[in-house]
Structure 1
């Protein structure tokens, strides 16, 4: 079983993945904050909740793109460091050297 690392070969792909990861993380954070129900409005209903969820999704994507908290960048840096190491490890048996 081999891992497909072709998607991590491009820095643009890594950056886009980091931004999406950060948007998902921020979205989950917003959802958890909303679930705390620190204040219940008088006129809350399902339609309002659905609109607020869509608004939170857009807010999370905007925050990840324009004011990142850094978790996406940390993921990109980690993947950028690990991608070359995996490439070297996969090429070692092809060179005829024994793998420890």
Structure 2
């Protein structure tokens, strides 16, 4: 779908795929918020949610699929890894996989 969009709209190679109302400018934050809210209404989603929620969900899914945290840091544009670590949470699914080093001890 993105290739088709790019073929139809021919964005500048070093510009934005989705330009705002002014050529060469990014799509506005407010416009993105309005698109998200309209999509939620159309989908019948009543829970609160925002662009930040999508960003958080994206990062959480990457973590759950084993993506290195430093790669996520780069994708999110964080300068400090601590910011990324605070921003993300560990899912219970990952906690279940942890094997204690004590389980490997041969005590008897």
Whether TM exceeds 0.5 here: the answer is no
TM-score (norm 1): 0.26
Higher share of residues assigned helix: 1
**Structure with bigger RCO (C-alpha 8 Å, 6+ apart):** 1
